Amino acid sequence: MMWRQTSPGHDRAGPEPESGRDGPATGPGFEPVLSDCEVHFLYWFIQGSIMNPETRSRLRRAWGLCERHALAHLAVEFAFRNGWVHGCALLYEDLMGRARQAFERRVPVGLWLALGLRQTAPCLMCELGFGPHSPTTAPVEVLARGRQTVGLQAFARSTEPCWRPAVCVRCAGRAVTAQSPRCRPHLLRDLLTRQPVDLGTQRELVVSIHGAVGRYSRSFRLEFQGTDTVEDRAGLVAAIGWCSGWSAWLRLVMGSKV
Ligand SMILES: [Zn+2]
Ligand SMILES: [Zn+2]
């Protein structure tokens, strides 16, 4: 399966992003369609512009990218690096560390926690105007390669038993209890609307994702190569789902089973 190319006048996108701000399933309505411009931007993004201090700071404030662009980032890095997704792993180790810190403050309750988990900047790519219909003049070979998701889908399937338990019940549309796992946007919403949430369980989830994605990130270093487990690799999926929401990911995985 590949990300399908956008065709002119083919209006299948969801609503425009609400500036990538917090809320369930933020960002453009996700479909397996990456526009030329999105592929081209992410191609340069993974070449090094992600390391720019200003960009890193922005990614921290926005908890990565919106749901659509977070998945697109992983997919494009997967396609161009043959699964060597070190950039993504480093980014999400950092973001989950930040989430863990928010839970470990002295008063990790209710509105104080919400304050630490809120998004204070919009998705960088949404703000730049990149969406399902943005054109570009990038070479066709680059665009074709950037849309390959075969490797990513194999990765999704092989790690599924380990990331499934972390899926947000609200993103999945399942019955919710105080202990059910939530993604950050849904946890934030539940805290702000004073829904019953067991913060101990949510904290355990965050700590476990941070540990797994941290081990995966470390495994890209020369001295630790080959030390990652399926659980560690699934940690990257869980981190992306936790930070931005799971809907786009679930659609990608379910699409692969059709
Ligand atoms: Zn976005
Ligand atoms: Zn959710």
The mean pLDDT of 105-133, rounded to a whole number, is 85
* Closest listed ligand to the CA of 119: 1
DSSP 8-state code for residue 198: -
Q: Is the separation of the CB atoms in 123 and 69 below 8 Å?
A: yes
* Closest listed ligand to the CA of 184: 2
Coil, helix or strand at residue 190? helix
Per-residue model confidence (pLDDT) at position 147: 72
Q: Whose CA is closest to 157, among 242, 237, 239?
A: 237
> Does 184 map to a domain?
yes
> Does 132 map to a domain?
no
How many domains is the chain built from?
1
The torsion angles phi and psi of 182, rounded to 5 degrees, stand at -125, 150
Amino acid at 231: E
This prediction's pTM: 0.83
> Does 23 map to a domain?
no
Residue range 197-216, pLDDT digits in tens: 999 999 999 999 999 999 99
Residue predicted with more confidence, 111 or 60? 60
Percentage with pLDDT > 70 across the chain? 83
> Does 111 map to a domain?
yes
CA 199 / ligand 1 centre spacing (Å):
28
pLDDT at 242 over 60: yes
> Does 71 map to a domain?
yes
> Does 80 map to a domain?
yes
Distant-in-sequence, close-in-space partners of 90: CB < 8 Å, separation ≥ 6: 217
Q: DSSP string covering 96-157, please?
A: HHHHHHHHTSSS-SHHHHHHHH---S--HHHHTT--TT------HHHHHHHTB-HHHHHHHH
Q: Which domain range does residue 94 map to?
A: 36-120+139-252
> Does 14 map to a domain?
no
CA 180 / ligand 1 centre spacing (Å):
26
> Does 18 map to a domain?
no
On average, the pLDDT of the chain sits at 83
Per-residue model confidence (pLDDT) at position 48: 80
pLDDT at 13 over 90: no
